[in-house]
Structure 1
Amino acid sequence: MCVKPRAGEATPAEVLHSVQGLWCTSCALAVEAQLVRLPGVHSASLHYPSATLLVSGEPKALEEGRLAAAVARLGYRLAPPEAARDAAVRLEAESRYLSLRLLVAAVFGMWTMLASLLIYAGALPDAGLEGVMAWASGAFAVPVVTYAGWPFYRAAWRTLRARRPGMDALVSLGALGAVGVSLWLLGRGSSEVYFDTAVMLIGLLLVGRLVETLCRHRGLRALQALHMPPDEVSRWSQGRWQSCALEEVHRGDRLRVATGESIPLDGTLETAEARLDTAPLTGESAPRRCLSGEGLAAGCRNLGPALEMSVTAVAGECRLDRLREQMWWQQARKGELARLADRFAAWLSPLAVVLAVLTLAATWLAGVPAEEAMVRALSVLVVACPCAVGLAIPLAGLAGSGRALGRGVVFRDPAAFETLARVRSAAFDKTGTLTAGEPVVTQLRPAPGVEGQRLLALAALAARGSDHPLGRALRREAHDRGVSESGEVDQRQEIAGRGRRVRLADGRELCLGSRAWLAQRGIAVPEGDAGVDSEVALACDGRWLGSVLLGEAALPGTAETLARLRQGGLTLALISGDRPPAVRRLGRAVGLREAECFPGRSPEAKAALIAALPQPSLYVGDGLNDALGLATASVGVAPLGASSAAREGGAVVLLRPGIGGVEEAWDLARRTRRVMRQNLVLSALYNALALGLAVSMAIPPLVAVLAMVASSLSVMGNAARLAWSQPPVTGGGEVHGQQAHRWRLAGGAESRRPKSS
């Protein structure tokens, strides 16, 4: 069971479970109806494709035993949310279960259909032989109607007990009605029986269920594609490396990951350098280089030599574990279209029964023979089965979620599919969203007679051991250029916000800091540009050796993505708390006009600007100061590396660097919503037209069966098209990936190569 706390209270207001034993969407509606009747339960939402149940209400009403007893009264079982591996096992078992019943339906139903065909075609020489064939048709239909059709009858009884009869009730009435009419006709000596209708109805519905299960299997495979941790890891213990179970690892333990193995848990890199394949987590094919002290995420694969790491999150608490949990919560909630489909399916079944009874009465009173009146009523029952309506939205949503996860986008709220498809504006934070969030060296300015390499080496040596972002940037640049930080540091002193003084073992004194701080120490520094983002000056023994200019570079592909969003009709804005020169310079670099850049904004001012944009609006931000903006926007998006506050506030989380995922999410949301609406319209039109025809004219029950199954298969095919189709390449997305690949391999050097020194 997963629990989410209610705001302002320590007790839960929502619980998450899975329900075992579901057979169709009608089962899901029955469980919801049963739980909502419990005192203290406010709402219940059961996502049939993933069997995920979300219940909200008073804390005491959400006790697991109480909910389990209510579900058990209908014949289902309550269980903890399923992991991807468990869901795959369940779906494989369902596939075998369906395949066995489908085999029985095919083997025995074939002979039923053959006997009926001989009767309909008039191929038999006399009426006596036709009667024998009619009885043979019924005999071969017995295994199909009993064994193969048993799951439908069981689900029908469960939904009737919950007072929410659905598709299975109509299927059961249709199949048993066809058998009953056929037995009645046999008793009267007629050979025009309809055992073939019952056989075809059960057989084709089993085929549809099997196809539906395969579609669900493919949709849930996106969760399975996330990291599956190993059972054992190599841990440093008692002076040597020992194998231990993953569950026995604690925070701070030191693990060893061999070449080709996956990172088992979140942690920090202890070795000097590592090359990682982040595709399982971000979908990016290019390797990522990490330096000592950087964070490692579970699921990434080690491409280089064996690495050592220190664990920061134990099993069940890693980032991927949280993503799985977010997917559970997302799947259990229903959007507006899903609720509309549920309401439609809920009243369609009772309406079909009423129409069938009225058809029987009206045709019989109009003088139509009793057997023909029964056949027409039977056709109304069969044609009205709301299979397509029940599957219209859940399968499309599952296909969209799976496709999004494969493209590096996690939808934490299913309503975001519908809202994101309608957004009219998009606003972005600067640092950590359009940029990497870390400064990079843009230019070296050595003093006359000083080489650029020597300036960088001494600056990196002075910054050794510093956690300041500028110091890390200097060391990273020296590492990328292969510049050695030779020398030993005896003493170091850091003056917060001003600079750093270091005394080397050979007696030299290095001062690294701002121009003003060096001037206070009596060191003359030539005047520079006033518009640079950051400048770090270096002096040795009171003599200025040069300055290093640092700034922020836009992530690869940012300008192209913003241009395509603008072409798509979105109003764009860059809203940042940074200084105007830095914000406007970045805005020009990524193709934004000056009127679209809003620097120096507080969190409250960001929220006000977002509220003033054309609605619905989208905001992308990564920091604690962006939480208010994410909550104000219609759809909040948290980029890769966002703070926990931003991830919790965002309805969409990106797993790839940069904002390319925003375009992916927007495009996918529009496609998913389009498929949802298509499915809902197709299923509604089918049921309206089919019911109208079945009531107004005589339709053979076999034709009604074929029409009903064709409708369900069309809905599943449309959803599968979303899951299996390859989305269009968005404006040279392959080029974007190559640029990102080169940028990472060079450590960002292409975008920040210093000018001539």
Structure 2
Amino acid sequence: MSTAASPIRLRLKGLHCASCVGRVETALRGLSGVTRAEVSLATEQARVEAPGVPVAALIQAVRQAGYDAEAASSAAAQEDTSDWRLPVAVVGALALMVLSMDDLILGHGNHMVPDPPLRWILLALATPVQLLCGWPFLRGALASARRLAADMNTLVAVGTWAAYGVSVAAVFGGGHDVYFESSATIIALILLGRSLELRARRSAGDAVRRLMALRPAAAHRVRDGVESDVPVEQVVPGDLLRIRPGERVPADGEIVEGESDLDESMVTGESMPVPRGPGGPVTGGTVNRTGALLVRAARVGDDALLAQIVRAVEEAQSRKAPVERLADRVAGVFVPIVIGIAALTFGGWWLATGQAGAGFLPAVAVLVIACPCALGLATPTAVMAGVGRGAEKGILIRGGEALEVAHRLRTVAFDKTGTVTEGKPAVVDELVLHPDLRALAAAAEKRSEHPLARAVVAHGTTGGAASPEPEDFFAYPGSGVEATVQGRTVLVGSHEFLNGRGVDTAPTAVFTDRNRSAARSRRRRPRG
């Protein structure tokens, strides 16, 4: 059996709340050789550090805890076991309710089906719901019982099986009412609740999946002068990668050849593309905006910055807030207390009425209604949603504890203006030295992909103004552009770029200084 020294990732099935997370973590940490085990409810994965421990042993430990697991690298599709059970339970519960209560629905006090055969029909309808749809609750309750523990599965299993068992005894022995519709309805409602919980959890974990999707699936690898497309997982440090304009960078590395502007907002929050040339660093997941690049891969896979960001988000989502730890402790003692209250309820009704059957339904109601799902679900879902939303906006939050104390913030410091801008440059001021400059600048920038160029074009064509087409065009990455428009040479670019081309920028000094003090970018538009 193969072993692994690096962290092992398991894909989990059957997690419903923070109590499930704690149970799986306890089971994994109980194995000899496991040094660390962390379970993320958001991604439904476990990250285990267990040098020398077989993956099969970890999976077996999870299954013994009442859950299912498989290696995260497995191509097997992850299925929601409640998908097919939910419609079966709903249809069965509705049929049982109609047949059991048709005398009340129709108002004539008589069932459409006579009582002796009716009980057998109800038994036939309730049995598949109880055995098939209710199996996850029974399995979870049995797993907890083996560990001398109790959870929400215990409450649901005890309540529904009590109702079903008493009803089966009534069918074969007669003498009292049956409660098949009660057990089936409880199972259907709990399955519906779990389905909604799963949707909320998956939605909260979407941020992690979107971060992982930033890495392209394939890379253009160049070996011995031959370019070929390979899965990004096959890229190793030292590989030469071709990155065309508009493509995402597949791995962290260094530019060997070419110049371009890279959109690094995913990493830095800076909305403006950053010029890069030979020797400059590139980060996997960022976008190559303009020129073609040849990059030597340096960090790939789990060592890449994007993978580290994903791990940071996953760890933040799985880190418990103080209020969440409190809810876990409450849930730990809540179930035994509920079972005791249900027993007292049953005994109280029996003593008060002199009939044991009178306390049955109230006791089952206590067991089911008191299920502590929300105790362990509400806070982790809120934490995951908050951390995930922050990650989508480029904000990495350390976890629930940071979110819990965030309401006490009074001052927030930002390191640069680009972090808090809209990321859509616009022309807000101009100094017009010639009436044709606006149209000429817009024409020169038409073929540029730089965000500032788009702003100049949008400003130059405001109100439907016409802009001529450039006859030729050349871009200087990180500096400016040169174009021929209506037979005239037009230069558009930075202060340094224009000075280097012999353009006198002194007449714009006062205008430039005023906008620089307002933290605005400069894009000069002299005509050659």
Give the whole-Å Cα distance in 2 for the aligned partners of 1:123 and 1:188.
27
**Matches for 1:486-525 after TM superposition, within 5 Å:** none
1:219 alignment counterpart: 204
2:16 alignment counterpart: 24
CA change 1:36–1:308 in 2 (3 A) is closer
Give the whole-Å Cα distance in 2 for the aligned partners of 1:54 and 1:291.
36
**Matches for 1:58-457 after TM superposition, within 5 Å:** 70-76=61-67, 82=72, 89-90=77-78, 93-94=79-80, 97-121=81-105, 123=108, 125=110, 129-186=114-171, 189=174, 192-228=177-213, 229-270=215-256, 272-278=258-264, 288-293=273-278, 294-424=280-410
SS at match of 2:159: helix
AA aligned to 2:225 is G
AA aligned to 1:314 is V
TM-score computed with the length of structure 1 as normaliser: 0.51
TM-score computed with the length of structure 2 as normaliser: 0.71
By how many angstroms is 1:383 displaced?
1.2
1:749 alignment counterpart: 522
Give the whole-Å Cα distance in 2 for the aligned partners of 1:61 and 1:180.
47
The total of aligned residue pairs comes to 440
AA aligned to 2:522 is A
By how many angstroms is 1:147 displaced?
1.0
CA change 1:123–1:219 in 2 (3 A) is same
By how many angstroms is 1:21 displaced?
3.1
CA change 1:237–1:392 in 2 (3 A) is same
2:494 alignment counterpart: 480
SS at match of 1:316: helix
Q: Is the 8 Å Cα contact of residues 170 and 385 (structure 1) preserved in structure 2?
A: yes
Q: Is the 8 Å Cα contact of residues 85 and 133 (structure 2) preserved in structure 1?
A: yes
AA aligned to 2:387 is S
Give the whole-Å Cα distance in 2 for the aligned partners of 1:255 and 1:203.
53
By how many angstroms is 1:277 displaced?
4.5
SS at match of 2:242: strand
Give the whole-Å Cα distance in 2 for the aligned partners of 1:231 and 1:264.
8
Q: Is the 8 Å Cα contact of residues 357 and 377 (structure 1) preserved in structure 2?
A: yes
List runs of 5+ in structure 1 lacking aligned partners.
1-10, 435-474, 488-545, 557-588, 591-738
By how many angstroms is 1:193 displaced?
2.4
By how many angstroms is 1:356 displaced?
1.0
By how many angstroms is 1:374 displaced?
1.5
CA change 1:125–1:193 in 2 (3 A) is same
Q: Is the 8 Å Cα contact of residues 254 and 297 (structure 2) preserved in structure 1?
A: yes
Give the whole-Å Cα distance in 2 for the aligned partners of 1:251 and 1:387.
47
Q: Is the 8 Å Cα contact of residues 140 and 153 (structure 2) preserved in structure 1?
A: yes
AA aligned to 1:409 is I
Give the whole-Å Cα distance in 2 for the aligned partners of 1:272 and 1:312.
17
Q: Which has the higher contact order (CA 8 A, sep 6+)?
A: 1
SS at match of 1:115: helix
Give the whole-Å Cα distance in 1 for the aligned partners of 2:83 and 2:417.
54
Residues 559-582 of structure 1, C-alpha deviations (whole Å, 9 max, x = no match): xxxxxxxxxxxxxxxxxxxxxxxx
CA change 1:355–1:431 in 2 (3 A) is closer
Give the whole-Å Cα distance in 1 for the aligned partners of 2:243 and 2:223.
15
SS at match of 1:304: coil
CA change 1:301–1:49 in 2 (3 A) is closer
By how many angstroms is 1:375 displaced?
1.7
Q: Is the 8 Å Cα contact of residues 227 and 281 (structure 1) preserved in structure 2?
A: no
AA aligned to 1:48 is L
Identity of aligned residues (%): 30
Q: Is the 8 Å Cα contact of residues 218 and 232 (structure 2) preserved in structure 1?
A: yes
Q: Is the 8 Å Cα contact of residues 103 and 112 (structure 2) preserved in structure 1?
A: no
Give the whole-Å Cα distance in 2 for the aligned partners of 1:263 and 1:126.
70
Q: Is the 8 Å Cα contact of residues 134 and 192 (structure 1) preserved in structure 2?
A: no
AA aligned to 1:50 is T
CA change 1:102–1:73 in 2 (3 A) is closer
AA aligned to 1:358 is L
CA change 1:219–1:281 in 2 (3 A) is farther
By how many angstroms is 1:264 displaced?
0.9
By how many angstroms is 1:206 displaced?
1.3
Q: What's the Cα RMSD here? A: 4.2
Give the whole-Å Cα distance in 2 for the aligned partners of 1:133 and 1:388.
37
Q: Is the 8 Å Cα contact of residues 260 and 276 (structure 2) preserved in structure 1?
A: yes
AA aligned to 1:101 is R
Give the whole-Å Cα distance in 1 for the aligned partners of 2:55 and 2:337.
35
By how many angstroms is 1:270 displaced?
4.5
